Amino acid sequence: MMRMALALSLTVSQAACVANVPAAPAVQKAVRVTNAGQPFQMWDGAAARKLADAECGAKGVQTSIYDRFDRATGAWVYPGGCA
């Protein structure tokens, strides 16, 4: 009887911890920009950022340390998506 009460109290306390976990943030689609259909060069990062900001609207693109130049396609990729 004592073991069953202990197991029940542990289960209830664990359930209370799980109920307070906040929801994960929604994942945004990455923004990929090219130079009017033509590939950017790696050193065209500033121009690509301006284009990405214009594409995303008033809040602009969400930048991070994971922004990168994709050599295969010539596109600048912003994985954070629009802000």
Indicate yes or no: pTM above 0.75. no
Q: Which residue has the tokens 């008033």?
A: 58
Q: pLDDT grade, residue 6 (50/70/90)?
A: very low
Domain borders along the chain are 27-83
Question: How far apart are alpha carbons 31 and 80 in whole angstroms?
Answer: 8
Write the pLDDT tens digit of every residue in 41-77. Answer: 999 999 999 999 999 999 999 999 999 999 999 999 9
